[in-house]
Amino acid sequence: MALLFEFIDTLVVEEGPRIQHPEDAIFQGADSAKKLLDALEFVIDDPGSVSIKWDGGVALLFGNRDGEFVITDKYMPNKGVFPNSPEAFKQYDVERGADRSDLYEKIQGIWEGLRAAVGSTDGLFKGDLMWYGELQPNANDQYVFRPTTVEYRVPANSDLGKKIAGKRAGIVVHAFDGQPWDGKTGLSANSDVLILTPKSGVEFKLNNPVRLVAAANKAVNTDGPKAQEFLDGMPKVVRAAIQTYMNKQITGQTKDKIQDWLTTKLSGKQQIAMLDPENGYLLQNADGLNALYNVWNSVNNLKVNIAAQLEKQVTGFEQWSGGKQEGEGFVFNSPAGLVKIVNRSGFGAAHFNK
């Protein structure tokens, strides 16, 4: 049976799941905060590299290595493991006492399709499996899939919907041999697995939110050094705990005041040093804590504005998370490297509180 393969220039993800949130940069110092703020201003001026950040499922590497076609999960290569068959993929789990029964059928089902797509190309592609199993339109004539948190709804009569029809699975490919994939090189037109390329197809535009940019610059330049001095005066474990608290607060994972939350996370000695009601570090350095909040919130407010502008420009399909029409976010290239723009009070809250 002839297999069909089509490239789609509408969807995109970035390499690497742990790109820093711009607002968190202050925890690495005032210079880092300034660098990430500069990156946000850079993308406002030049949004050409902005792409959709897909909330993908299992991350896989696939391709030809040493003359053999292989598929691995994202951890296997670091352990020197490159399964050359679905059976070898499963045997790796057996030998380490793991059981991923829900994954083995998917690996078996996409193996030949991805092998056909790769052909004779040497090297490993990396992507995220978005769905497995032929999709059928729902009552609203939409193809619907939800690999993790975000639910994607694609009209069956749209260009993308017509390409989804009859496909065994869909995978977003975003890297080749450790570098961003150009969406063209190395994959042939011969697979029943739908390949989604790293070009969005949307020419994103951004208006300059002048007041938010000014507020963020004032906060970073004025309060950044104060925040850094405040953070430098405490043990790293406490600094990390404060960052975790602020992250959990924005995603709705806690409504506790910082003193109450830290009481459950710090050792007895740390509690006395940091939280003592008369001589504790937080009390004695309230201005530093306020400076930290001001920098973090100001950069976050700017980022959220950018995310909202971009979200309105996504067309051709719908993204839903937490009951709102909103995806995971966006990613762009800057002089500071890759930067992600995620509304943590939206997608983050939906992800951690589902």
pLDDT in the model for residue 354: 62
pLDDT-derived band at 14 (thresholds 50, 70, 90) equals very low
* Tokens matching residue 187: 């994959």
pLDDT in the model for residue 180: 76
> Could you tell me the CA-to-CA distances from 175 to 66, 168, 183, 185, 197 in Å, in that order?
19, 22, 9, 11, 10
Tell me which residue of 227, 221, 240 sits closest to 41, measured CA to CA.
221
Domain ranges of the chain: 22-48+207-315, 53-196
pLDDT in the model for residue 19: 79
pLDDT digits (tens, 9 = 90+) for 142-151: 999 999 999 9
Tell me which residue of 288, 297, 293 sits closest to 225, measured CA to CA.
288
Structural element, H or E, at residue 259: helix 258-263
pLDDT in the model for residue 108: 97
Using CA atoms, how far apart are residues 155 and 161, in angstroms rounded to an integer?
6
Determine contact, residues 18/205, Cβ cutoff 8 Å. Answer: no
pLDDT above 60 for 269: yes
pLDDT-derived band at 125 (thresholds 50, 70, 90) equals very high
pLDDT above 50 for 307: yes
pLDDT in the model for residue 188: 81
Strand pairing class (193-196; 7-8)? parallel
Who has greater pLDDT, 182 or 156? 156
pLDDT digits (tens, 9 = 90+) for 157-208: 998 899 999 999 999 888 899 887 877 889 887 799 999 876 556 889 999 9
- Mean model confidence pLDDT for the chain: 90
Find the mean pLDDT for residues 101-112. 96
> Could you tell me the CA-to-CA distances from 154 to 135, 143, 165, 244, 318 in Å, in that order?
11, 5, 11, 36, 6
pLDDT above 90 for 337: no
Find the mean pLDDT for residues 217-242. 97
pLDDT above 80 for 1: no
Q: Distance of alpha carbon 285 from its chain centroid, rounded? A: 34
Using CA atoms, how far apart are residues 116 and 189, in angstroms rounded to an integer?
8
Beta bridge partners of 172: 128, 196
Using CA atoms, how far apart are residues 339 and 21, in angstroms rounded to an integer?
7
Determine contact, residues 83/72, Cβ cutoff 8 Å. Answer: yes
Find the mean pLDDT for residues 243-272. 93
What's the angle, vertex CA 66, arms to CA 64 and CA 191, rounded to 5? 15
pLDDT above 90 for 64: yes
pLDDT digits (tens, 9 = 90+) for 73-91: 999 999 999 999 999 999 9
Residue type, 139: A
Structural element, H or E, at residue 224: helix 224-232
pLDDT above 60 for 2: no
Find the mean pLDDT for residues 120-142. 96
pLDDT above 70 for 303: yes
